[in-house]
Amino acid sequence: MAVVCGGLLATGCGGGGTDTGSARKAGAQGAYPVSVTDCTGNRTTFSAAPEKIVTSNASSLELLLRLGAGDRVIGTGFPPGKGTLPDPLDAQARKVKVLSRTVIPKEKLLGSGADLYIDTFASMGSMGGAAADAPTPQEFAAAGVRHVYLKSTACAAQRKTPVTDLSAVEADITSLGAVTGTGARAKELVTGMRRKVAAAREALRGTAGGERPTYFFFDYDAGTEQPVVTCNRQLANAVITLAGARNAFADCDGDYRQVGWEDVIAKDPDWIQLGVRDRGGAAANRKAFDEAERWLRSNPATKGLKAVKEGHLLRIGSEQTTIAGVRNADTVAAIAAAVHPGKAG
């Protein structure tokens, strides 16, 4: 049997590299059965490609569109805004039924007719309370819905070591490729990502540690009363590190943590990313970025930060930084070009 342990390969994947290699070959050929594991190692086996897929959000939808399996997606939560995705992906995304603008209600998900649900969130409580009323494994089974995860984000809290590269994202893409019978396309996507990251890394070769600026991901949508920071198990830590910067909260073990503004002030980061989630269109996104910047510049606790005073504020969407996707590599390149002008980009 071909087995793929997508996402965090160190978490409950037993056979390790051999099984994953078999799955790459099987997925490329459309061979079944194929198995994937969840965050605790529980296995789901597919004897054929799923035909009716529901995605939890725009990120997993985008991956399926890029893999060429978009025609099998019958619904999604957290849909991408118009123009968020490049053509022709944008046009394809418009055709997918929106089951919820946020987290899909349990009853609607279980009654959707799906044979597969791809879950980006799991433990990610900051994403609209995704885990608050999720179906149980028994309820998924009774409805005939198989449940798989983008483990690079959904299982981040269970990691034992910091994440500093995109291997877990690549494994998610490989896993979805194997499950949907689009393994050859998955390999192309992973190769393209590696090429972009390698170019940024090569441009930064020889950059000393002291030349790598500190970087704070400001999750504006998580609330401003107490900031929620991305720690060293979160995908953003890998994106920031690969871009030649230093996550200001890399000393925080876990995926996310709520801190105080005094903690951010103590870090006094060189750069701040205005982390704004997709609002449904370019104009709405610009407005949200403007609001986030205005808040930093007007708030007594943050207006004196080095990054704010120097205008080192990057407008890069949250999803492509914190959730698995092909555009993680684009974000690495964008951050590198901004914080190391003249070297990267």
Between 307 and 14, residue with greater pLDDT: 307
pLDDT of 127 above 50: no
Q: How far apart are CA 13 and CA 9, in angstroms?
A: 6
Q: How far apart are CA 59 and CA 55, in angstroms?
A: 8
What share of the chain in percent tops pLDDT 90? 75
pLDDT category at 175 given cuts 50, 70, 90 is very high
pLDDT for the residue numbered 256: 94
Is residue 206 within 8 Å of residue 195, measured between CB atoms? no
One-letter amino acid of 100: S
Q: How far apart are CA 243 and CA 328, in angstroms?
A: 11
pLDDT of 236 above 60: yes
pLDDT of 334 above 90: yes
Average pLDDT over residues 238-258: 96
pLDDT category at 134 given cuts 50, 70, 90 is confident
pLDDT digits (tens, 9 = 90+) for 265-300: 999 999 999 999 988 788 999 999 999 999 999 999
pLDDT for the residue numbered 43: 93
One-letter amino acid of 89: L
pLDDT for the residue numbered 207: 85
Average pLDDT over residues 191-200: 97
pLDDT for the residue numbered 12: 31
Chain centroid, CA 48 distance in Å = 26
pLDDT category at 7 given cuts 50, 70, 90 is very low
pLDDT category at 345 given cuts 50, 70, 90 is low
Closest CA relative to residue 319, chosen from 134, 65, 127:
127
Listing from the earlier edge strand, what are the strands of the sheet with 53-55? 73-76, 53-55, 116-119, 146-149
Q: How far apart are CA 237 and CA 249, in angstroms?
A: 9
What share of the chain in percent tops pLDDT 70? 88
224: tokens are: 């401003």
pLDDT digits (tens, 9 = 90+) for 24-78: 444 445 689 999 998 888 899 999 999 999 999 999 999 999 999 999 999 999 9
Predicted TM-score (pTM) of this structure: 0.87
Listing from the earlier edge strand, what are the strands of the sheet with 246-247? 246-247, 214-219, 271-275, 313-314
pLDDT for the residue numbered 16: 32
pLDDT for the residue numbered 266: 97
pLDDT for the residue numbered 30: 62
The whole-chain average pLDDT of the chain stands at 88
Average pLDDT over residues 168-195: 97
pLDDT of 307 above 60: yes
SS3 string of the chain? Answer: CEECCCCCCCCCCCCCHHHHHHHHHHHHHCCCCEEEECCCCCEEEECCCCCCEEECCHHHHHHHHHHCCHHHEEEECCCCCCCCCCCCHHHHHHCCCECCCCCCCHHHHHCCCCCEEEECCCCCCCCCCCCCCCCCHHHHHHCCCEEEECHHHHCHHHCCCCCCCCHHHHHHHHHHHHHHCCHHHHHHHHHHHHHHHHHHHHHCCCCCHHHCCEEEEEEHHHCCCCCEEECCCCHHHHHHHHCCCEECCCCCCCCEEECCHHHHHHHCCCEEEEECCCCCCHHHHHHHHHHHHHHHHHCCCCCCCHHHHCCCEECCCCHHHHCCCCHHHHHHHHHHHHHCCCCCC
Average pLDDT over residues 70-89: 91
Q: How far apart are CA 232 and CA 90, in angstroms?
A: 32
Closest CA relative to residue 8, chosen from 147, 159, 181, 114:
159
Closest CA relative to residue 98, chosen from 109, 106, 87:
109
In the chain the domains, ranked by start, together with CATH numbers, are 2-191 (3.40.50.1980), 206-339 (3.40.50.1980)
Is residue 137 within 8 Å of residue 162, measured between CB atoms? no
